[in-house]
Chains A and B, each alone.
Chain A
Amino acid sequence: MPDEQSEVRLGLTAILPAAVAVIPFGLLLGARAVEQGLSVGEVALMSVLVFAGSAQFVVIDIWSEPAPWLIIGVTTLMVNIRHVLMGASLAGKLGAFPALAKPVAMLFMVDEVWAMAERRALDRTLTPAYYAGMFGLLYANWITWTVTGAWFGRLVSDPYAFGFDFAFTAIFITLLTGFWRGRQTALILAASSAAAVAAKLAVEGPWYIMAGALAGVLVATVVSTSEAADRVEADDGI
């Protein structure tokens, strides 16, 4: 069993770029939420209980008084439906987690934590300590900066000005290189890109993520079946 302290430290280090990049977005979200009529306490409560940046941004955009809870719930579902696929994939990598720790880990599965955990699981066993280091920092960070934004108002008007938005794209690109497995991956990425771009152009909202994800997975069923067949043939040859 790897040393827990160093695992926590490695988890913290892995998530640090995402934690820094999210600061202006947290500030902006808090400020916008207050402009839309939420109190500072309500902003804090939302970040503590929901902890889902993209859903919170979309929901604050459509917020009105009194809060339309049903529309807000349905919108949250629309943004977060990708978690089902992400969780199904991550569930297979939680072998080192005690039974009760698995659902806890899942509750803190934000995009960046999920992506880093998947990347880690490629090389080593994903430990609870590593995972806790990642989500612990990101969770405390998210609450701190959304509440700070709610308290002080518009400290940041445009996170795009300094390229903070692109930090997430850059993080995901560097992670993607780790998942490269040759021709099969090329086909999956091509299918996901094409479907995501087409969906983004065709419909408003976050549907492009599910469209691209499902297209990639669909292609994988076809390619992996043919590769499995190749393996069987190879085994027969021995």
Chain B
Amino acid sequence: MEFDTATLLAIAAMSVVTATTRLSGLWFAKLVRPQSRIAAALQAVPSAVLMSVIAPAVFLQGPAEALAAGITLLLAFRLPMMAAVVGGVAAVVALRYLIG
């Protein structure tokens, strides 16, 4: 099993950077006063981040993905999560085959 010095250094850099970004939220949250405007804005983080992560796949990737996203959304209101996800994936596979 070989380990290269430059590679180890790069992995260490990745590890330190990732740990720092993950831990910094705890520190950041301590600075935010409860009831403040920033505290209220932080409540929007889950919706805002989730939407931003999926936006390119939903709006830019193509009609198959856009349609499948709509189908997944409808399923999510009616079915348990696992079933909605499986249904959404099945929809995208079928739609990619049908309309590319």
Chain A residues engaging chain B, CB cutoff 8 angstroms: 16-17, 38-42, 45-46, 49-52, 55-56, 59, 65-70, 72-73, 76-77, 80-92, 102-103, 106-107, 109, 111, 115, 118-119, 162-177, 179, 185, 188-189, 191-193, 195-197, 200-201, 208-221, 224-225, 228
Residue in A165, A179, A212, A221 whose CB lies within 8 Å of B46: A179
Closest to A46 in B: B11
Which residues of B have CB within 8 Å of A102? 26
Q: Which of B6, B10, B11, B42 contacts A92 (CB 8 A)?
A: B42
Neighbouring B residues of A85 by C-beta, 8 Å = 25, 45, 49
Q: Which of B14, B38, B58, B84 contacts A50 (CB 8 A)?
A: B14
Chain B residues within 8 Å of A219, by CB: 44
Say what secondary structure dominates the interface of chain A.
helix
Considering the complex, which residues of chain B in the window 24-50 have a beta carbon less than 8 Å from any beta carbon of chain A? 24-26, 28-30, 32, 37-38, 40-50
- Cα–Cα, bound, A1→B58 (Å): 40
**Is B19 part of the binding interface, using a Cβ–Cβ cutoff of 8 Å?**
yes
Contact residues in B for A82 (Cβ distance below 8 Å): 21, 49
Smallest beta-carbon distance A30→chain B, Å: 14
Binding site for A on B (CB under 8 A): 1-19, 21-26, 28-30, 32, 37-38, 40-60, 65, 68-69, 72-73, 75-77, 81-82, 84-86, 88-90, 92-93, 96
Q: Can you list 5 A-B contacts (CB < 8 A)?
A: A87-B21, A90-B25, A196-B55, A216-B47, A220-B41
Question: What CA separation (Å) do A167 and B87 show in the bound complex?
Answer: 10
Inter-chain contact B96/A88, CB cutoff 8 Å: no
Q: Given the complex of chains A and B, what is the CA–CA distance between A172 and B28 in angstroms?
A: 25
Closest to A16 in B: B82
CB neighbours (8 Å) of B42 from chain A are 88-89, 92, 217
Q: Are B47 and A189 in contact (CB under 8 A)?
A: yes
Docked pose: A80 CA to B42 CA in angstroms: 18
Partner of B10, one of A69, A201, A218: A69
Smallest CB gap from B85: residue in A: A170
